[in-house]
Amino acid sequence: DTEVTQTPKHLVMGMTNKKSLKCEQHMGHRAMYWYKQKAKKPPELMFVYSYEKLSINESVPSRFSPECPNSSLLNLHLHALQPEDSALYLCASSQVLRPPGELFFGEGSRLTVL
């Protein structure tokens, strides 16, 4: 299995809602990432987890809260988001950590904040 699976594919939420994005991989990769991608822009790194521990937080606002329950799962909890947070959220994993090596991306969760 060489896939990274993300759910949901689409999410619409109001600014007062709480929701979560989920990501799963079964490739045995010990590094997992959250990226944010706006239209016509490159992926922008948000968080890096290595061996289930948060290694990098790219100064992301606290309304985004990552969680890595185990080596296969990565969540992104969303609360009190702003309309400008609307974007495609990509999860990725890599076998090699430093440097990351090939990133395996999921199909993404397209988030719309009303």
Handedness of CA 81, 88, 90, 70 (dihedral sign): positive
Per rule CB under 8 A, is residue 65 in the interface with other proteins?
no
Give the whole-angstrom CA distance, residue 28 versus residue 34: 17
Name which position in 11, 23, 90, 113 contacts other proteins (CB under 8 A): 90
Q: Which is nearer to other proteins, 17 or 95 (CB)?
A: 95
Q: Which is nearer to other proteins, 43 or 78 (CB)?
A: 43
> Which residues of this protein are in contact with other proteins, per CB under 8 A?
31, 40-43, 45, 48, 50, 55-56, 90, 97-103, 105-108
